[in-house]
Chain A
Amino acid sequence: MKILISIILSALLAYAAGIYGNLPWWSFVITNLIVAIAIPQKAFYSFLSGFVAIGLLWCGLAILIDQGNDHILSMKVATILPLKGSYIALIALTTFIGALLGGLASLTGSFVRASK
């Protein structure tokens, strides 16, 4: 239950912070940290919450945008990056980058709590 709340809360706060274009793209690192401090979990579960929250958020947003765009831009970017033009690979990369950083942020949060 705790993990579910943590995931939902992290994702929501990350999304909310992301609405403001003037805030840095990594604002979710801070919000994840706060959620992890507020909802104490064991290190692994904390990491997992952050990982899944941001992973789902970034994956979901990317898929939603990409569907609406008929892959026009994703296929171009996936050629520049280079991912052989695969929009699926690009969404996977987006998801992984977000998830990894999200997980690490929440992990750090859990250690803050534990180190007190």
Chain B
Amino acid sequence: MRLLPLIASAILTTGLVFTLDTQLKIGNSKAPRLGYFLSPQHGFWKNAEKINTNFDATIIANELKGNVDVYVDDRLVPHIYADHDEDAYFVQGYLHAKFRLWQMDFETRVASGRLSEIAGADKLPIDRFFRRLGMVYGAEQTEANINATNPLMKTTLDAYTAGVNAYIKQLDPADLPFEFKLMNYAPEDWTPKKTYLFLMFMSYDLTGRSANADLQLTNTRDYLGYDLFDKLYTNKQDSLDPIIPKGTVFAKPSIVPQKPIKSDSSYLHNTKALAFNNEIMPEAPDKNNGSNNWAVSGSKTKSGRPILCSDPHLGLNLPSLWYEMQITTPTHSTYGASFPGSPAVIIGFNDSLAWGVTNAGRDVFDYYEIKFKDSTRNEYWYNGAWKPTTKRKEIIKVKDSTDVIEDIAMTNWGPTMFDAHYQNPQSKGRNLAVQWTAHSTSTGVETFYQLNRAKNYEDYLHAISLWTCPGQNFVLATKTGDIAIKQQGRFVARWERQGDFIMPGEDSSFAWQGIIPNDENPIIKNPARGFVSSANQPATDPTYPYYLGAASAFPLYRGISVNKHLTSMNQITPQDMQAMQTDNYNVFAATARPALMRYLQLDKLSNDAKKMVNEMTNWDLNNSVDSKGITVFKIIWDSVEQAVWGDELAGSTIPLTKPEAFVLLDQMNKDSNWSIADDIRTKDKVENFKDQVTLGVENATKKLLELEKENKLEWSLFKATRILHLTKMPALSRLNLPIGGGVNIINATTENHGPSWRMIVHLTDEIEAYGLYPGGQSGNPGSPYYDSFVNTWAAGQYYRFLFLGKEKLKQNARTKWHLQFKAA
């Protein structure tokens, strides 16, 4: 009788199948289903793309009106030639999905608070944060608006969506993108709402820093008191070189924001102990989310034609936020960087003009404190009466667990983000509602849709007038010789300091008093100096009639550097612009180093410290890859800052905002007896800058000696720039890149942040354009095109874009593949 062995071996086999088909827990994360993952016909091996893959294909689609030809060049950049605009967006959606499907799914999951659904309860804090912030709410407002009022954008979104879904529909499960297999879930159908969610995420990334900063600034003011706060966090920037040159006269404002009479007592100086910390928040958007852009007129170039440059600085990730492409239809021919997840080209050029964007940094996000009648949160006190709230239910699905429901009270300000159900132990009883321009309806990507087709300055003005959030500086250069820059968005007409801190929400006196009319937004066209530029500095000097927001939102020094270069340059070529875009000169250190040296008491220093100071003084002020001087300078500067205001901030149990570097530098340059320099902890002694600089250098030396021992004094080794995969897995990321640059540098590459797309467009008759982004056209970690631009980017080199008509491109030596889309 062999029944026993049969049963035994059957159980063993089934058990093994079951085990290999289950996600086992490894440490804190879940492993893929091992049998599935390793199966060469189903799992990850299927994603190991052949080095010499032939991308030729024929795709038949019912949704197309006509045939579409896509030629793909040797960098895997597709050039779409369609007879109908909608077909072009269908194909754009299809290609985005073909090369970036997982990223599109993941990014919109983050934006809509749906990570827990695939990754489990660990991700709940992130999901709850985004839900309560009103990300889904905002996307719904825009979707409803476009469905009701904007048939053009609706058609465009529908075509794009159909393209994404046509790809998903034909996808063999064995060919799912790698990360779906790794995390064991499947893509769902694309919807226009996902595009709006993606745009909400960009709004959060570029204006949502206030969600954290406003709480921290409030805490910092409460801790220091307003008077000391206003000294350390001053909005006066001595060295400001604004986007609109100083001295420009602004028209009389149509709104004159009135500071409420009670603002001193119930707002600025109202320092009741309120204590939030950021434990429950995901990583706040990077403070350096910014960018450079500029355009020079023909008067300054060798060819006599304008040149436009744009390099948006964002978190560096793989797969990249950007996907390069050309779209050509009878209505327009456009080339540039697109967002997987959205139709049209976002930063680029067409056969008439080029455009680029930088972040405006304006404050469009405020907290208002709410008083609820009782714990039901059904009524709140407003203008002397109890008003009803409405409730918004956000249901968060959690993998392997029960749903979590966020029951959000909606007020006239917006969603009540913080209340008794969402807080930390220190925040008991506080209810904070969010008012944010991203919650209002927007026109989605219509601005970019129109820019893709713009022929001249007027078209550009019209296109950007539709833009609401996040506020941007749109730079323009046309073939006909115009250059311009305009700061555009839905900006709040603020009084000084309005919204820097949490505001009282019990009546309308602290409410926004209006949105600044578009034609009062800062703009400059064809200035005499022959260039326009922006680098996230304040758009204007303080004579502009509206308050822009706290100075901490506006980095100063990159703008100074850009303008200095452009002022001195003449006979400019695209190659000069490449050198400038990758320039590592440290304009901050150029001022800060002499200031340090002025106060430094060399004779009081140890020998080690003298050696370090020597390294710093011999430095050529360039943040180059192998420079040790910049590392020494940075550590010394940070130590001096710590010595100067570490005492004022010490003792706080809650996270406080550090004052800006410019505050210290400006004071060192004008007031050698600044009272803040005193260490308030030493009662018997009054320290001055001399003491603090010397102390700072000694403290820095200890740290620097350690770095020297670890062989990390060279800038690129110290900085260790990395491009992280969206899951943060090191194996899928690029680490320790040999690249210079940094904060305050035109080449704004920090540890994990920097020029996410570099573009230079020379507006000659046949456009000559260069650029690249730190990634690759394929989102597949198993493809040679996954990170194929990274080394070129790190080395500061460029690719020449192929921007040609269909017949010319077809015959170009760099064109390698042909995807034919055929209408069924």
Do A and B belong to a common assembly?
A: yes
Q: Interface of A with B (CB < 8 Å)?
A: 15, 18-19, 21-22, 24-26, 29, 43, 57-58, 61-62, 65-66, 68-70, 72-74, 76-77, 79-80, 93-94, 97-98, 100-101, 104-105, 107-108, 111-112, 114-115
27 residue pairs A–B, Cβ–Cβ below 8 Å: A18-B40, A21-B172, A21-B175, A24-B21, A25-B36, A25-B41, A43-B5, A57-B40, A62-B40, A65-B40, A65-B46, A72-B48, A73-B781, A73-B782, A74-B48, A76-B731, A76-B781, A94-B38, A97-B34, A100-B16, A101-B17, A104-B9, A104-B12, A104-B16, A105-B13, A111-B9, A115-B6
User: Which A residue sits closest to B6, measured CB to CB?
Assistant: A111
A26 near B35: Cβ-Cβ < 8 Å: yes
CA distance A65 to B46 in the complex (A): 8
Give Cα A107–Cα B11 distance, bound, in whole angstroms: 12
Complex CA distance for A76 and B786, rounded to whole angstroms: 12
B20 lies within 8 A of A72 (CB): no
**Given contact pairs A74-B48, A104-B9, a sample of 8 additional A-B residue pairs in the complex whose CB atoms are under 8 Å apart:** A22-B172, A22-B173, A26-B35, A65-B46, A69-B48, A69-B50, A72-B783, A97-B38
Q: Which residue of B lies closest to A70 (CB)?
A: B51
Given contact pairs A80-B731, A97-B38, A104-B12, A70 touches B174 in the complex (Cβ within 8 A): no
Q: Are B21 and A26 in contact (CB under 8 A)?
A: yes
Residue in chain B with minimal CB distance to A63: B40
Q: Does B706 contact A (CB under 8 A)?
A: no
Given contacts A29-B17, A62-B45, contact A93 B1 (CB under 8 A): no
Bound CA–CA A102/B659 (angstroms): 65
| Most chain A CB within a 10 A radius of its CB, from B9, B46, B49, B51 | B9
Contact of B9 among A68, A97, A107 (CB under 8 A): A107
Chain B 1-28, CB-CB to A under 8 Å as 1, else 0, gives 1110110011011001100110000000
Q: Which residues of A sit under 8 angstroms from B12, Cβ to Cβ?
A: 104
Chain B residue at minimum C-beta to C-beta distance from A79: B731
CB distance from A21 to the nearest CB of B (A): 3
Q: In the assembled complex, how far is the CB of residue B175 from the closest CB belonging to chain A, in whole angstroms?
A: 7
- Residue contact B40 to A94, C-beta cutoff 8 Å: yes
Bound: A77/B46 CA distance, A: 13
Residue of A nearest to B787 (CB): A72
Q: Which of B35, B41, B43, B784 contacts A72 (CB 8 A)?
A: B784
Closest residue of chain A to B12 (Cβ to Cβ) is A104
Q: Is B44 close to A, CB under 8 A?
A: yes
B45 touches A94 (CB 8 A): yes
A25 touches B783 (CB 8 A): no
Q: In whole angstroms, what is the CA distance A59 to B786 when docked?
A: 26
**Overall SS of chain A's interface:** helix
> In the complex where A21-B172, A76-B732, A76-B781 touch, is A58 in contact with B40 (Cβ < 8 A)?
yes
Are B9 and A108 in contact, with the CB atoms below 8 A? yes
Chain A residues, Cβ within 8 Å of B178: 73
Which one of A25, A68, A111, A114 lies within 8 Å of B48 (CB-CB)? A68
Closest to A58 in B: B40
* Closest Cβ–Cβ distance, residue A78 to chain B (whole Å): 8
Contact A70 B2 (CB under 8 A): no
Contact call A115/B41, Cβ cutoff below 8 A: no
Interface string of B699-715 (1 = CB under 8 A from A): 00000000000000000
* Contacts of B126-155 to chain A: CB distance below 8 A: none
Interface assignment of B47: CB less than 8 Å from any CB of chain A: yes
- CB–CB B782/A101 < 8 A: no
- By beta carbon, the residue of chain B nearest A78 is B731
Option from B3, B13, B40, B781 in Cβ contact (under 8 Å) with A29: B13
4 shortest interchain CB distances as A-B pairs: A18-B41, A73-B782, A21-B174, A61-B40
CB nearest to B47 among chain A residues: A73
Q: Which residues of B contact A93 (CB under 8 A)?
A: 38
Partner of A115, one of B3, B36, B44, B45: B3
In the bound complex, do residue A80 and residue B45 qualify as a contact, i.e. CB atoms below 8 Å apart? no
Interface centre among A19, A69, A105, A114 (most CB of B within 10 A): A69
- CB of B567 within 8 Å of the partner chain: no
* Residue in chain A with minimal CB distance to B780: A73
Partner pick for B173 among A21, A68, A112, CB 8 A cutoff: A21
**Which residues does chain A contribute within 8 Å of B174, judged by CB atoms?**
21
Partner of B51, one of A15, A69, A111: A69
**A18-B41, A101-B17 in contact; A25/B2 too (CB < 8 A)?**
no
Residues on A with beta carbons closer than 8 Å to the beta carbon of B41: 15, 18-19, 21, 25, 61
Contact yes or no, A97 B35, CB < 8 A: yes
Choice from A24, A68, A105 contacting B50 with Cβ under 8 Å: A68
Are A25 and B45 closer than 8 Å at their CB atoms? no
With A25-B39, A101-B16, A104-B13 known as contacts, the answer to whether A111 contacts B49 (CB < 8 A) is no
Residues of A within 8 A of B782 (CB): 69, 72-73, 76
Which A residues lie within 8 Å of B528 (CB)?
none
Does the CB pair B13–A101 fall under 8 Å? yes
Say yes or no: A18 contacts B781, CB within 8 Å.
no
CA distance A74 to B48 in the complex (A): 8
**Distance A83 CA – B25 CA, assembled complex (angstroms):** 17
Q: What is the minimal beta-carbon distance from B39 to any residue of chain A, in angstroms?
A: 4
Pick the residue among A15, A19, A101, A108 that contacts B35 (CB under 8 A): A101
